[in-house]
């Protein structure tokens, strides 16, 4: 292994370690606001789907709480049900610092185009939003059925459980792999893949081509 390759690997490791601890520190500060913002969006979407109202969304360091209100009319009179749904933020964001650290290492060592990086961040947010939609959809379904607001529907329960299991066991747990795979795929397909960045003193060694000497 050449001296340049060893130096390149060490650079990648240092960038990853520095990025990981930096993102971990920043994430502890912004996690409550990030979780609360996503829960706000997801809760209003679920409320539209189930003809409910969102009475409020509160968030803490480790948990977000959304308050729903359901009002329905039936032959027996008016049904009015209010309930809270607690959502642990770390349950779907525990991989964020690791994901961002790997993403940053790949960007600074191999890539120059910013677009795949921004797209990967957007994809990360979408994954978390999909998780929250599946979580709130399934839990509100069981609450409404349990309180007699809606009738149980087998197909809806099966679909809700499948959506939830897929989001929890696939999207969230494999988040670092999926996000960075998407990043590399978009970069290579969109012309963003440049190979390792060149050094001013040994740029020809980085590409494996002989440099020209004057």
- Predicted pLDDT at 186: 81
The region of weakest confidence among 59-63, 99-103, 193-197 is 193-197
Residues 107-119 pLDDT 10s: 887 666 788 899 9
Contacts (Cβ under 8 Å, ≥6 apart) of 208: none
Q: How many CB atoms lie within 10 A of CB 4?
A: 16
Helix (H/G/I), strand (E/B), else coil: 201: coil
Provide, rounded to the nearest whole percent, the portion of the chain with pLDDT above 90. 63
For residue 211, give the 3-state DSSP assignment.
Answer: coil
CB 68, CB 85: distance < 8 Å: yes
Q: In whole angstroms, what is the distance from residue 36 CA to residue 188 CA?
A: 35
- Tens digits of residue pLDDT in 182-191: 988 887 765 4
C-alpha 17 chain-centroid distance = 21
Q: Model confidence at 127, in pLDDT bands (50, 70, 90)?
A: very high
Q: Which residues pair with 111 in a beta bridge?
A: 193
Report the pLDDT averaged over residues 196-203.
43
pLDDT at position 69 over 80: yes
For range 115-134, the mean pLDDT: 95
Going from N- to C-terminal start, the domains of the chain cover 3-197
Least confident of 23-32, 107-116, 143-152, 192-201: 192-201
**Structure token digits, residue 43:** 């809760």
Q: What is the 3-state secondary structure (H, E, C) of 21-89?
A: HHHHHHHHHHHHHHHHHHHHHHHHHHHHHHCCEEEEEEECCCEEEEEEEEEEEECCEEEEEEEEEEEEC
pLDDT of residue 112: 62
Residue 66 has pLDDT above 60, yes or no: yes
Q: Is the pLDDT of residue 40 over 90?
A: yes
Q: How confident is the model at residue 210 (pLDDT cuts 50, 70, 90)?
A: very low
Residue 99 burial (C-beta neighbours within 10 Å; 0-12, 13-18, 19+): buried
Q: How far is 108 from 62, CA to CA, in rounded Å?
A: 32
Query: pTM of whole model > 0.85?
Result: no
SS3 193: strand
Q: What is the pLDDT of residue 73?
A: 77
Q: Are 145 and 151 in contact (CB under 8 A)?
A: yes
Say how far apart CA 119 and CA 114 lie, in whole Å. 9
């Amino acid at each position: 292994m050449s001296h340049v390759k060893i130096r390149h690997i060490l650079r990648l490791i240092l960038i990853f370690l520095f990025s990981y601890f930096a993102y971990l520190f920043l994430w502890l500060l912004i996690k409550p606001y990030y979780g609360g913002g996503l829960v706000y969006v997801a809760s209003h979407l679920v409320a539209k789907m189930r003809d409910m109202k969102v009475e409020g969304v509160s968030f803490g360091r480790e948990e977000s709480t959304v308050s729903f209100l359901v009002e329905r009319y039936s032959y027996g009179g008016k049904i009015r049900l209010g309930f809270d749904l607690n959502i642990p933020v770390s349950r779907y964001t525990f991989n964020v610092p690791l994901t961002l650290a790997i993403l940053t290492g790949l960007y600074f060592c191999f890539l120059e185009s910013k677009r795949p990086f921004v797209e990967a961040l957007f994809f990360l947010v979408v994954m978390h939003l999909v998780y929250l939609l599946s979580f709130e959809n399934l839990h509100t379904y069981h609450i409404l059925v349990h309180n007699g607001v809606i009738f149980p529907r087998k197909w809806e329960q099966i679909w809700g459980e499948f959506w939830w299991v897929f989001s929890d066991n696939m999207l969230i747990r494999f988040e670092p792999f999926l996000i960075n795979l998407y990043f590399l795929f978009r970069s290579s397909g969109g012309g963003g893949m440049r190979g390792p960045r060149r050094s001013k003193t040994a740029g020809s060694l980085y590409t494996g081509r002989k440099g020209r000497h004057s």
